[in-house]
C-alpha cells in the first residue's frame, strides 16, 4: 500500500484488523485510496494472544505507527476481528479471563449435540468449534454478564456506546442473517440476554470518546462503525463490490468467495452466507490448492517448470489434485482420492495438468455457488501467493473464461476501512 499525499481538507477512514498474531491499521482517503498502513505484533505486547489486554496494547502500538497528522484527520473507524472469537465480560464490562479464539474447540462433549438438536442445518453455529459453542462455554463462568466478539470489544475501546456486534461476526454465534435477529431456538442453549445487540456492517454505533481520543491520539467524535470478520474484510479490500464479483485465494487451499444479491447455503459443503449490508458474501474452500502442488514440487521447481509451459494450450490431462484423500467443496466427500494419473514423463507437462486441474475445481466451485442461487461469476480477482504466478493466472483465465481485475489490496484493515468510507466526505469538517 503506497501512501498518497494528504490534503488538509480531507477526512480519512480508519480500518483496524485484529488477528491472532497482531493488529494492522490502515487509513483510506474519501476516494478509497491508501493513506497509511501500520502493524504491530502481539508477541511484542504480551505472550498470550487470547488476552484482551494484549489486544489493547497491540492496538495502541499499531495506531501509534500511523502518521500523527493523518491520524488526526480520522473521521470514521471500523474494526474487524477473527471470526467466532468470543470474550466474557462482568457487570463492569471488564474481561473475565481470556478469550476463546476462532480455532478453539470446546471440551464439553454435550455442547455440539445440544446445538445440533435445535439449530437449523443451514446455521453456521454447528460444531464444537463454532462461536456459539464457545459462547456456551463462557456462559457458565461466574459473574458473566455479557459475551462479545473480538471486533466488538476492540471497537468498544473507542466508543462509550454499549457493545454492539455486526451481522458477520455474530453469524457463527447463531445469529440469523436472513431474519436479521437472534433466533428463538438460541434460548434453548444459552441466555440470549448475554449476547450483544446486532446491527448491519457499516452502521454507525457510536463516536470516539474523549478518553479514547487521548489514549490513541484520535479525533474525539469520529464515528465508530460496525465492522465485519477478518475474512469478509479481506474480500472487501480487493475492491469487489457488486453481485457476481468473486475473489479466489490461492494459498495452501483454494478458497472462493462470491458477492451475491441473495443468500446461499449448502451445509454439506460448508457453504453459508455472510450478510454485508444489503448484499451477501458466499463461499467455500476446497482442499486443493498450493498444498496439492507442494506434494509434487518445491516452489523453486514450480517457478522453473512454469517457464516451459504454454498456458494457452490444454494438456489433455484430467486431474483432481489433492494433498491427501478428502474434499470439502465443490463436492463433499471425505474419501475422495487425489487423481493425478497418468503421470507423463515430462515434469512441466505434469505440472501444467495439476494447474489446470486446480483451475477446473475453481470453475466448478463458482458453478456450484450459481446452482445454489448466487449470480454467475462476472469478474474475478485473485489473492494469495499463487496469484503472483503469471502462467497459472493465464491458465485460470482460459478455463474460467471470465473477466479479471487486479486486487486493490490484500489488507483486511483496508477492507474494513471501506465500511467506514460512507461516513466521511470531502466537504464535512472534523467534529461536525
Predicted pLDDT of residue 195 = 97
Q: Quick one: DSSP state of residue 45?
A: S
Question: Closest Cα partner for 273 from 171, 351, 350, 149?
Answer: 171
Which residues, other chains included, contact 276 with Cβ-Cβ below 8 Å and sequence gap of 6+? 167, 168, 201, 202, 228, 232, 236
Predicted pLDDT of residue 194 = 97
Q: What does pTM read for this prediction? A: 0.91
Pairing of strands 12-18, 22-28: antiparallel
Fold agreement (12-232+412-423, 240-404): yes
Predicted pLDDT of residue 9 = 60
- Spatial separation of the C-alpha atoms in residues 13 and 425, rounded to whole Å: 10
The CA-based angle 309-310-311, given to 5 degrees, is: 100
pLDDT digits (tens, 9 = 90+) for 41-62: 999 988 789 999 999 999 999 9
> Could you tell me the residue ranges of all domains in the chain?
12-232+412-423, 240-404
CATH code of the region 240-404: 3.30.420.40
Predicted pLDDT of residue 2 = 43
* Residues in the chain, overall count: 432
Predicted pLDDT of residue 425 = 62
Q: Is the dihedral of CA 319, 322, 252, 269 positive or negative?
A: positive
Pairing of strands 223-229, 164-166: unpaired
Exposure string for 56-76, b = 16+ CB within 10 A, e = fewer: bbbbbbbbebbeeebbebbbb
Q: Which fold has domain 12-232+412-423?
A: Nucleotidyltransferase; domain 5 (3.30.420)
Q: Quick one: DSSP state of residue 429?
A: P
Residues of the chain where predicted confidence (pLDDT) is lower than 70: 1-9, 425-432
What is the CB neighbour count within 10 angstroms for residue 27? 28
Predicted pLDDT of residue 401 = 97
C-alpha cell at 162: 454499549
Question: Closest Cα partner for 228 from 175, 162, 284?
Answer: 175
- Spatial separation of the C-alpha atoms in residues 226 and 174, rounded to whole Å: 18
Pairing of strands 403-404, 379-383: parallel
pLDDT digits (tens, 9 = 90+) for 176-216: 999 999 999 999 999 999 999 999 999 999 999 999 999 99
Amino acid at each position: 500500500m503506497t501512501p498518497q499525499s494528504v490534503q488538509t481538507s480531507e477526512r480519512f477512514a480508519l480500518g483496524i484488523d485484529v488477528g491472532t498474531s497482531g493488529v494492522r491499521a490502515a487509513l483510506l482517503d474519501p476516494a478509497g485510496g491508501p493513506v497509511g498502513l501500520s502493524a504491530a505484533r502481539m508477541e511484542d505486547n504480551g505472550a498470550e494472544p487470547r488476552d484482551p489486554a494484549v489486544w489493547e496494547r497491540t492496538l495502541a502500538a499499531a495506531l501509534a505507527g500511523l502518521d500523527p497528522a493523518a491520524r488526526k484527520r480520522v473521521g470514521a473507524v471500523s474494526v474487524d476481528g477473527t471470526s467466532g472469537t468470543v470474550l466474557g465480560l462482568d457487570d463492569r464490562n471488564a474481561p473475565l479471563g481470556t478469550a476463546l479464539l476462532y480455532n478453539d474447540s470446546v471440551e464439553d462433549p454435550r455442547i455440539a449435540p445440544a446445538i445440533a438438536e435445535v439449530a437449523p442445518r443451514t446455521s453456521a453455529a454447528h460444531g464444537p468449534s463454532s462461536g456459539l459453542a464457545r459462547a456456551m462455554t463462557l456462559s457458565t463462568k461466574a459473574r458473566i454478564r455479557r459475551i462479545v466478539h473480538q471486533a466488538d470489544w476492540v471497537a468498544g475501546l473507542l466508543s462509550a456506546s454499549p457493545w454492539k456486534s455486526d451481522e458477520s461476526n455474530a453469524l457463527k454465534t447463531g445469529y440469523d442473517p436472513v431474519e436479521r435477529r437472534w433466533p428463538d431456538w438460541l434460548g434453548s442453549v444459552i441466555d440470549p440476554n448475554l449476547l450483544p445487540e446486532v446491527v448491519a456492517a457499516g452502521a454507525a454505533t457510536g463516536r470516539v470518546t474523549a478518553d479514547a481520543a487521548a489514549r490513541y491520539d484520535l479525533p474525539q467524535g469520529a464515528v465508530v462503525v460496525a465492522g465485519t470478520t477478518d475474512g469478509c474484510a479481506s474480500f472487501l479490500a480487493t475492491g469487489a463490490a457488486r453481485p457476481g464479483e468473486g475473489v479466489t485465494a490461492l494459498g495452501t487451499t483454494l478458497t472462493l468467495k462470491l458477492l451475491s444479491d441473495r443468500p446461499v447455503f449448502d451445509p454439506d459443503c460448508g457453504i453459508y452466507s455472510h450478510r454485508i449490508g444489503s448484499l451477501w458474501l458466499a463461499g467455500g474452500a476446497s482442499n486443493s490448492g498450493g498444498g496439492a502442488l507442494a506434494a509434487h514440487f518445491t516452489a523453486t521447481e514450480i517457478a522453473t517448470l512454469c517457464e516451459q509451459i504454454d498456458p494457452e494450450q490444454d494438456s489433455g490431462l484430467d486431474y483432481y489434485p489433492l494433498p491427501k484423500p478428502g474434499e470439502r467443496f465443490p463436492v463433499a466427500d471425505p474419501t475422495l482420492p487425489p487423481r493425478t494419473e497418468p503421470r507423463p514423463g515430462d515434469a512441466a507437462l505434469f505440472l501444467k495438468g495439476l494447474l489446470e486441474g486446480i483451475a477446473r475445481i475453481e470453475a466448478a466451485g463458482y458453478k456450484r455457488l450459481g446452482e445454489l442461487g448466487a449470480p454467475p461469476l462476472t469478474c474475478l480477482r485473485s489473492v494469495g501467493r499463487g496469484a503472483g504466478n503469471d502462467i497459472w493466472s493465464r491458465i485460470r483465465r482460459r478455463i474460467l473464461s471470465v473477466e479479471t481485475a487486479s486486487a486493490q489490496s490484500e489488507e483486511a484493515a483496508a477492507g474494513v476501512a471501506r465500511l467506514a468510507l460512507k461516513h466521511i466526505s470531502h466537504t464535512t469538517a472534523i467534529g461536525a
